[in-house]
Structure 1
Amino acid sequence: MKKKFSLLLVLLLAVSTFLAACGGDKKTDGKKEGAAGGSDTKDEQVLNLAESSEIPSMDSALATDAVSFNVMNQVYEGLYRLGENDDAELGMAAEEPEVSEDGKKYTFKLRDAKWSNGDPVTAQDFVYGWQRVLNPDTAAEYAYIMSDIKNASKVNEGKAKPEELGIKALDEKTLEIELETEVPYFKALLSFATFYPQNQKFIEEQGDKYGLEANTSVYNGPFTLSDWKHEQSFKLSKNKDYWDADTVKLEEVNFNIVKDTTTAVNLYETNKIDRVGLSAEFVDKYKNDENFKTRGEASVFFLRLNQDSKNSEILKNENARKAFDSAYDKQGMVDVLLNNGSVPAYYLVPKDFVTGPDGKEYRETAGEAFGGFDVEKAKDYWAKAKKETGIDNVELELLNYDSESSAKIGEYFKEQLESNLDGLTVKIKAQPFKQKLDLESKGDYDFSFAGWGPDYPDPMTFLDMFVTDGSHNQMGYSNPEFDKLIEQAKTELSSDPEARWQAMVDAEKILFDDQAISPIYQRGVSYLERPYVKNVLDHSFGADYSYKWASIEN
């Protein structure tokens, strides 16, 4: 995310498009007209939204992106789910667990809950789901997020049997989890999609079709995915068998896939969707509208600089990477192209995200002076890179999303870099979301416009992406000292919060001393939302939204 994103970083969607979405053509009785047009009242418990991408996967063992995690958060449930203020609230866990004195063993009692096919949700569903994530044959990119579980890394590397993983079903409703080290944010981590249970019998019946259609998935969350027209729309329907169904007010959440903001705004103005994200030109148009809202997020966008690409000679050169980072105006980008509350990023771990053991916000401790726009410095770095590599002219391919807002950002990069770095030609390759993720995973690109949202409330959710051969590294970066600090922060320093925090600060500095990536901006969102839409929860990590508590209230 979540981030990852994710969660997801997880890896996120591009730019200013608001990651909530659109749907059916339900009629409403208009009584009061808002400044943007459309009705400010509604009679049904139906939320209509617009999503900017197809769902890449509904298999929680394989998903890596914000869109998938957002949908799965509505239709699946782990031991916990995120509630208001991102608090971890009981999900499939019936009560808070028994925790050993050393903080390494958790024993959970599960509530009586059902899958949408009528099967009970059991402790064995968690054992199977987690073992499946870590099975090397699954090739789950997010397997590393389970590294805190005892023997998880050994199982994932094929050096231990799945039964040796630190998770056991003591009986049908009792689950025991053992950790390698104490994890202060463990309950929040358990809300993340990779830790969901999975129904073994159903998955084996579906085979290769599992998670590819609405009817080849099985659900245990507040909603079910009741309809999925690929690349067009999808629908969530209230899950009548959900253990807390009485809390769920919405009967439907409809999403239409809309890739350009103009179309989405038109849908909002004609009463076909209830919430819409705004790009720069629409922010100016609607900023005085009574339904206009803006907020900051913990998602950071950056350029991946692929040192394993076909043009690796130039991209492996540190001066070349520093030239790229210095050659474009981040402030101008957020002011003109985004205009939505986003701010320039001179860091990886975002501002206003987490607080350290000293009570200070992370960025206050770590600082943020990692690069910046300086044309003369960029030219100097570029001249040194040319001399060191013997390359005078080079064409680099910029991998990009295919959304309207991303296209503008891609053209901005092309103009700035070509203008300020003599001999550089940038060719833009725009791809649908799922295909872009696939090309990044394969390392089939030169540099890429990418983003990451946090999966859990700790700087590590950003930093461990870039360890050598990490599944989300995807760009051939390697620094042994960086790897060592990340490993220490995950293991031997876990009982020394101050030293652990400093190790992460030092690791981030190494990342930018090497100019492994070029940070661009920390995302903000500006949007219009009908006043009858209540209690859609926006999360700072994990899935972007929760609709469990949402409702339509006039």
Structure 2
Amino acid sequence: MKMKKKSYALFLVLLLAMSTFLAACGGGGNDSKEKAGSGGKGSDKSDNVLNLTETQDIPSMDSALATDTVSFTTLNSTMEGLYRLGKNDEAVDGMADGDPQISEDGKTWTFKLRDAKWSNGEPVTANDFVFAWRKALDPNTAAEYAYIMYDIKNAQAVNEGKMKPEELGVKAVDDKTLEVQLQNPVPYFKELLTFGTFLPQNEKYVKEQGDKYGLEANTTLYNGPFTLDQWKHEDKFVLKKNPEYWDADTVKLNQINTKIVKDTQTDVNLFESGDADLIKLSSEFVDKYRENEGFFTVKESSIFFIRMNQTKSEWLKNVDARKAIAMGFDKKGITDVLLNNGSVVADFFVPEEFAKGPDGKDFRESGDKYLKTNLKEAKKHWEAAKKALGQDTVTLELLNYDDDLSKKVGEYIKEQLEKNLDGLTINLKQQPFKQKLDLETKMDYQLSLGGWGADYLDPMTYLDMYVTGGAHNQQGFSNKEYDKLIQEGKTTLLLEPEKRWEALVKAEKILLEDEAAIAPMYQRSRAYLSNPKLEGVLFHKVGPERSYKWAEFK
């Protein structure tokens, strides 16, 4: 999710518009060592220890089960696939040693693996990829991101239980040669392989750990720039430089300490004392630190919205009620007051400055604005819903994250909707990050404040979320015309990019204007404070939020 692209990547975007579906160890350590890197503003940071904060704990270190930014960003530091994201979000060599060999029909990709080791000293082999990919697609794994692998031959059939995992179009020719068969030619497959679901796993180690794999620092194996050395749940996690990493000479940071902090005041205090080197600022601190040497903002591709679960409330099955909720609160109060960090009102689902069509124009120039704040219309729809349901009052529960900013946004939404929609009561339910994701996956909620960041550079990474029965359609939305447009956008229209683009624009209109399946709120920007000596942190527009492989203090 984040940042800009170079010219070759812009060319990739055009390919994306014409192409098929992509799909958005050990323990130890001690407090004295962790503290050594903080040093305050006067520290020269010569020990190259980076101190960070995060509002949420890591939900999972199992790449087959990860679904969130915190997990993918941590996996990005501790694991490595065939390729990883480099500057400008380009795919750079990881476990693959150079570019793949591609057959004339574009369906067979052969990768040569470099000599690399896991953190326990065992070699990384082609079978590590075969095992991990089969595991992600095995229906018994129930991986939400399995669909992102559907470009591989037989992947969907395996995931649906119609074929055995052994029939997946991937095989280890030998320890250092991986062959992948695709359903159709996919020009951007190399870039897709940077996504976290495509990471390898050591079969012997994973089977030894069983259900514990990925749940603790010492039940996970690493092949990336860092290892997860400590993981004290809901408190902190500590990464240490991985001496077994093939490119360890490039890695300058010796340690990364991440403290779980729920409120920005604590973040700021840690930064001021020198105990944090990179923090996110909430609205009340932006103006104070705007002139600070380390202040900067990043416009992301993340969209935040209200999920409306049609399976848990008769009211939310009613399209007028959904439209009333979507139009019944002032979005600018969120962006301009609660956030104050460059975030913009989202009357859309596919973000601004994200994907360009075959005409070279941004998707938002083709798409319209939908569900804009309109209290008069919201009240009309609300009264229509009351009449249809034969009720004058309703209480709905709003599921939310438990960090400071999310709480404020939740309280604001509650105040706005209760004031503007007569007879509506909103009860707030704050949950830790992992528990909230679990409740959404189980569809055990009514309303929920959600967010989505891009997995690849195409509008489909947002729009295919809401096909009937989709893994991320966790709210029971279904529309046959919408499903048809998305399916055509992945298949029959791939060689007709203009018509494909039109289909995706129409699909977004159905999702929002016609059905009000979700209530979009804002496209996020983030305001940061950074230690001026810190360089080389990469902010990504897709996939993991940041990369620290090239970071260092100068």
- How far does residue 326 in structure 1 lie from its aligned partner after superposition? 1.0
Correspondence for 2:34? 24
Which amino acid is the alignment partner of residue 264 of structure 1?
D
* Aligned partners of 1:294 and 1:527 also within 8 Å: yes
Unmatched 5+ residue regions in structure 1? 3-8, 11-22, 31-37
Distance in 2, matches of 1:531 and 1:377, equals: 49
Correspondence for 1:140? 143
- How far does residue 29 in structure 1 lie from its aligned partner after superposition? 6.3
Which amino acid is the alignment partner of residue 25 of structure 1?
K
**40 and 348 in structure 1: CA distance in 2 versus 1, 3 angstrom threshold:** farther
Between stretches 97-106 and 335-344, larger displacement belongs to 97-106
Correspondence for 2:442? 442
Q: CA RMSD in A?
A: 1.5
The alignment-based identity, stated in percent, is 60
* Aligned partners of 2:81 and 2:94 also within 8 Å: yes
**315 and 29 in structure 1: CA distance in 2 versus 1, 3 angstrom threshold:** closer
**315 and 174 in structure 1: CA distance in 2 versus 1, 3 angstrom threshold:** same
Unmatched 5+ residue regions in structure 2? 3-22, 25-32
| Superposed counterparts of 1:208-247, under 5 Å | 208-247=211-250
* Aligned partners of 1:286 and 1:292 also within 8 Å: yes
Correspondence for 1:331? 332
The aligned length equals 525
Which amino acid is the alignment partner of residue 375 of structure 1?
L
Query: Are positions 1:74 and 2:83 aligned together?
Result: no
Distance in 1, matches of 2:34 and 2:341, equals: 27
Distance in 2, matches of 1:472 and 1:39, equals: 47
* Aligned partners of 1:181 and 1:491 also within 8 Å: no
Distance in 1, matches of 2:467 and 2:548, equals: 35
- How far does residue 286 in structure 1 lie from its aligned partner after superposition? 1.1
* Aligned partners of 2:37 and 2:51 also within 8 Å: no
* Aligned partners of 1:40 and 1:531 also within 8 Å: no
- How far does residue 215 in structure 1 lie from its aligned partner after superposition? 0.9
- How far does residue 27 in structure 1 lie from its aligned partner after superposition? 5.4
Distance in 2, matches of 1:494 and 1:123, equals: 31
Correspondence for 1:34? none
Distance in 2, matches of 1:340 and 1:449, equals: 19
Which amino acid is the alignment partner of residue 76 of structure 2?
N
Post-superposition Cα deviations, 1:456-501, rounded to whole Å, max 9, x if no partner, equal 1111111111111111100000011111111111122223333322
Distance in 2, matches of 1:539 and 1:413, equals: 29
Residue from 141, 164, 168 that aligns with 1:165: 168
* Aligned partners of 2:38 and 2:276 also within 8 Å: no
**262 and 474 in structure 1: CA distance in 2 versus 1, 3 angstrom threshold:** same
Distance in 1, matches of 2:270 and 2:325, equals: 39
Correspondence for 1:478? 478
- How far does residue 231 in structure 1 lie from its aligned partner after superposition? 1.0
* TM-score with structure 2 setting the length: 0.93
Post-superposition Cα deviations, 1:114-154, rounded to whole Å, max 9, x if no partner, equal 11111111111111100000111111111111111111110
* Aligned partners of 2:309 and 2:474 also within 8 Å: yes
Correspondence for 1:399? 399
Correspondence for 1:20? none
- How far does residue 453 in structure 1 lie from its aligned partner after superposition? 0.5
Query: Are positions 1:201 and 2:211 aligned together?
Result: no
Distance in 1, matches of 2:46 and 2:373, equals: 51
Post-superposition Cα deviations, 1:381-424, rounded to whole Å, max 9, x if no partner, equal 10111111112110000000000111110110011000010010
Distance in 2, matches of 1:173 and 1:243, equals: 15
- How far does residue 28 in structure 1 lie from its aligned partner after superposition? 6.1
Correspondence for 2:154? 151
**200 and 28 in structure 1: CA distance in 2 versus 1, 3 angstrom threshold:** closer
Distance in 1, matches of 2:137 and 2:38, equals: 48
* Aligned partners of 1:88 and 1:191 also within 8 Å: yes
Correspondence for 1:492? 492
Distance in 2, matches of 1:400 and 1:496, equals: 41
Residue from 63, 67, 77 that aligns with 2:66: 63
Match of 1:415, SS state, is helix
* TM-score with structure 1 setting the length: 0.93
* Aligned partners of 2:338 and 2:408 also within 8 Å: yes
Correspondence for 2:269? 266
Distance in 2, matches of 1:65 and 1:457, equals: 17
- How far does residue 184 in structure 1 lie from its aligned partner after superposition? 3.6
Match of 1:328, SS state, is coil
Match of 2:476, SS state, is coil
| Superposed counterparts of 1:102-501, under 5 Å | 102-309=105-312, 311=313, 313-367=314-368, 369-501=369-501
Which amino acid is the alignment partner of residue 235 of structure 1?
V
- How far does residue 161 in structure 1 lie from its aligned partner after superposition? 1.5
Distance in 1, matches of 2:498 and 2:52, equals: 43
Correspondence for 2:55? 52
* Aligned partners of 1:291 and 1:531 also within 8 Å: yes
Correspondence for 1:544? 545
Which amino acid is the alignment partner of residue 327 of structure 2?
S
Correspondence for 2:518? 517
Post-superposition Cα deviations, 1:493-521, rounded to whole Å, max 9, x if no partner, equal 22333332222222111111211001000
Match of 1:256, SS state, is strand
- How far does residue 40 in structure 1 lie from its aligned partner after superposition? 7.2
